[in-house]
Amino acid sequence: MLKRVGLIMGAVLLSIVLLGYVFRLPLLQWAVAPELEKAGVTLSCLDFSLTSKLNVHVQKACLSYQNQELALTGITANTRHVEIKHAALNINPLPQSDKVSSPATILDLALPEKRPTITVEQLSINSEFLNQPLILSINEPKLNQFVVSGDLSASATLYNNKVQGQLKVSDELLKQLLKTDNALLSGLSFNTSQAFSFNGIEGSATGNLQARYDYKFKNCDISNNTKGVLSAAYNLNTQKLGLDSSKLKNNVTLGNNCQSLIPEGDYKAFAVKQLPLNWQWALPKPISLVGNNLALPLITLTSDEQSEQDIDITFTDTFVNTVTPLQSARTQLKAQLHTDDIKAVVLNTQLENAQLSGNYDITLTALPEFLPADANNVKAHGDFTLTQLIDSKPVGKVSTTFSFDKAVAYGTTINDYTGKLVVNMSEKLDANVVLKSEFKSVQYDEYKLTGINNTLSAKANLGVGELFAHLSANTQISTLTSPSIDLENINVDSKGLQSRALKASHHVFVNGIELVANHHISKVEHPFEVIVPQQNVLSLNSIISQFEPLAQLTQGEFGGRISGDVNLQKANFYLTIDDTSALYNDYLANQFRAQLSGQYDSGQLNVEPTTFNVNELRAGAVVNNINGKIEVVNNSAKAFDVSGNAFGGVFELDKYSLLKSQQTANVTFQDIDASKLITLDDKSGITLTGRLKGLLPLHFSDSGVEVTNGSLLNQGEGKLIISNNAAFDSVMQQQQELQPVLSLLKNLDIQKLNSTVALKSDGWLNLGVNLQGFNEPQQQQVNFNYNHEENVFTLLRALRLSDEITQKVEQQYSQKGN
């Protein structure tokens, strides 16, 4: 009975064992899987068996944790050792819902004093960031001490509250594994050995780094060498990555071929001289990355100490959100430059909330040689504020003030210049530019300008469409001096529109003279128009006096218009002169009128024949109702067909070339009142009546004006009466023998008067007079010859002193003084 019961129990136990083995996988998943799920681990597959040595042999095990998949095959385990033939780890992006998890805690590992050691012959890690799987082998020679070999070389020790060890990484591994631009990594070579530690919340690494990166930008070879100690730390809870590179030395070298990046030009030699080829950069303070926020407290970039250029660039308080870098960027920049050619350049900028602001100072002992000007003590300083930089439509203001002591360019010397440039840009892309300039003086050859102030402004909208710039300017010049003319109080107001061509107008005041100029500049033409508004001629006196100090305009108006094309060197003009009176010394011309029209073409001036009139000309003798014509033919001006009234008769001038020094002009007289010509003084006691005619050939030369072979003849009969003339009576008393002859002249009916006229350039007049007549009281025929010589310049001067012209002169000068 007992034996049967034993057999039955044995059969039952064997059946249970056999059933347990047959259903080992369902039973194990039923018992183990719930426990793994409590830790967030999902057991999706498991297949194991027992070996003849009672070792557990797992053919395959599949685990997943937070979307990360681990497949294990070929596991043999016993109480002393666990050997894994192959493990495959797939690292997948975390689901969005899994990224927010419970905070990490300090490691609290229940490490048994005795457990089987582990060996993984091959661990294959796959990730979307890797170009190919990372192949590793893991060995645990001592309990909780692991050695990793393969693509990575590392060692790690596991403690209850941390994991720490050593890791070595080289550039070959990165180039093979990382999915990135091979060209970008082709010039990278580095190796590093890092001591790392992880306590469950924070991981850290510190070690030596030696790296070199060679890069070619176009034809420019750039090389960076880094050597020193690099430290890093990452906190799982704060997601803060800290990087301390303060102990790294970084050197950047530019190849000589980098000079080819500078475009060819006169300035290239200067630019090459200012460009250092050796640089040093550093991150003296630790940087941090929290989530997407990158903070760099300090970045420095300096030229090599052995270079001739002293350049320091410093970034402080730099912050960037890697998701929105342009919108979130914040930094402060300070740059300083000192070279042999540049005394100092200092730039301070601040970028925050997409707003860039700052100031700068530039000081040059002299301008660079490539510029077409020489200047000394050049200074510039200014400030700027720009917003909305992201959309490439900046809004803000830029202000610059610059000056120099002396500059020479294209033969022009500028002294003591100060300028201020202000640029404003609105949200609607309305740009406003204002440049104010002040010069103490400008000298070009013998021309000198002093006291120059200029304001130039431009307004334009830079939006979509054709650019239209509205220009305005005001220029004020105190004086302009030259060998030929001096001008004062020059003021020019200008307005213009710049699009495909420039249309501009200028309102000009020079020495009180008003002008309006309009012009249109394009690629093929440059038409212009100058309008001289009708204005008083008195404004011309300041200019006329420089050429003829004794000349003075006393009244009248003038105006006109000039139009043409600068490129073609052509112009038409029209000029009016109305009721203009002029005074020269004590000569007076009243009410001159003329309307001139003509053309200028390639250096040749032509004026159409134009009539002019002068109401009155006073030069001792009074000449009035003067009419004539003026014309200019190929720069040669002449007056012709001139006529007028003088001494009660008329005269005519055939022609006179205004700018010709050697010439002859013929003046003819008709119906001259002899009483007005000969009776010089009402108290002289001599009267002459009758009419005269004559011809005066006027010969002009460099020495003056002469008359040769002139003639004066009577027209009809006349009469000579001499009474109570002291000089005549004195001659008769002194020369008794001449009394019979001279007495015949006291009452003489003139039948014929014939006189030759000769005038020297010094004013001496010689008259050869032949007088024929009849003395009625004495019934005596008279034939009288007389030679008279007198300086007519002195005579006319004396006449003017006793003429009413004296009062006129005093009146005009009185008006001028007022």
pLDDT tens for 534-569 read: 999 998 988 888 888 888 898 999 999 999 998 888
pLDDT for the residue numbered 43: 76
- Evaluate if residue 817 carries a pLDDT over 50: no
pLDDT score for 134: 84
Rg (CA), the chain: 56
Domains of the chain by residue range: 26-93+111-173, 201-353, 661-802
Q: Using DSSP, how many helices (H) and how many strands (E) does the chain show?
A: 12, 43
The tens digit of pLDDT for each residue in 89-105 reads 887 765 554 444 568 78
Lowest mean pLDDT among 10-19, 539-548, 696-705: 10-19
Residue 679's pLDDT is what? 52
Q: List C-alpha distances in Å: 195 to 109, 153, 156.
A: 21, 12, 10
> Would you say residue 4 has pLDDT above 50?
no
* Model pLDDT for residues 453-482, shown as the tens digit of each residue: 999 999 988 877 777 889 999 999 999 998
- Average pLDDT of the residues in 371-400: 86
Model confidence band, residue 15 (pLDDT cutoffs 50, 70, 90): very low
In sequence order, what are the beta bridge partners of 477? 452, 490
Interior/surface letters 747-758, b for 16+ CB within 10 angstroms, e for the rest: bbebbebebebe
Share of the chain above pLDDT 90, in %: 35
Mean pLDDT throughout 66-71?
79
249 pLDDT above the threshold of 70: yes
> Which of 44-53, 158-167, 291-300, 320-329 comes out lowest in average pLDDT?
44-53
What is the predicted pLDDT for the residue at 54? 58
Among the listed ranges 181-195, 465-479, 766-780, which one has the minimum average pLDDT value? 181-195
pLDDT of residue 26: 53
Indicate the pLDDT class of residue 625, thresholds 50, 70 and 90: very high
pLDDT at 795: 60
The confidence score (pLDDT) of residue 35 equals 54
Q: Specify the range with the lowest mean pLDDT, choosing from 84-88, 123-127, 377-381, 695-699.
A: 123-127
Distance CA 414, CA 441 (A): 6
pLDDT higher than 60, residue 680: no
Average pLDDT, the chain: 83
pLDDT of residue 183: 59
Strand partners, 215: 222
pLDDT band at 506 (very low <50, low <70, confident <90, very high): very high
Residue 189: the pLDDT is: 82
Q: Which residue has the higher pLDDT, 459 or 702?
A: 459
Could you give the C-alpha distances from 790 to 321, 761, 766, 795, in angstroms and in order?
108, 13, 7, 8
Provide the pairing of β-strand 117-127 with 134-142: antiparallel
Q: How confident is the model at residue 116 (pLDDT cuts 50, 70, 90)?
A: confident
- Looking at residue 483, its pLDDT comes to 86
Task: Please determine, for residue 75, whether its predicted confidence score (pLDDT) is greater than 80.
Answer: yes
pLDDT tens per residue across span 292-309: 889 999 999 998 877 777
**What's residue 660's pLDDT?**
84
Residues 329 and 352: their CA atoms lie apart, in Å, by: 6
- Separation CA 577–CA 758 (nearest Å): 36
Is the confidence at residue 50, as pLDDT, over 60?
yes
Contact, 228 vs 247, CB < 8 A? yes
Confidence of residue 442 (pLDDT cuts 50, 70, 90): very high
Handedness of CA 810, 813, 817, 818 (dihedral sign): positive
Binned at pLDDT 50, 70 and 90, residue 11 comes out as very low
Query: Are 236 and 247 within 8 A, CB to CB?
Result: no
Q: Minimum mean pLDDT among 84-88, 206-210, 274-278, 279-283: which range?
A: 274-278
Q: Is residue 122 over pLDDT 50? A: yes
pLDDT at 793 over 80: no
SS (H, E, C) 31-56: HHHHHHHHCCEEEEEEEEEECCCCCE
Tokens 């100029």, residue located: 517
pLDDT score, position 1: 40
Is the pLDDT at 746 greater than 90? The verdict is: no
| Angstrom distance (rounded) from CA 579 to CA 616 | 11
Give the pLDDT score at 799: 54
pLDDT for residue 502 is more than 50: yes
Least confident of 70-74, 343-347, 576-580, 787-791: 787-791
**What pLDDT does residue 573 have?**
92
> What is the Cα–Cα distance from 297 to 292, expressed in whole angstroms?
16
- Which pLDDT score is estimated for 60? 86
Give the range among 164-178, 237-251, 553-567, 603-617 with minimum mean pLDDT: 164-178
pLDDT of residue 33: 55
State the DSSP code for 256.
G
Please report the beta strands in 511-661, taking only residues with DSSP state E, as ranges in sequence order.
513-521, 527-536, 551-565, 570-584, 587-601, 604-619, 621-633, 636-646, 649-657
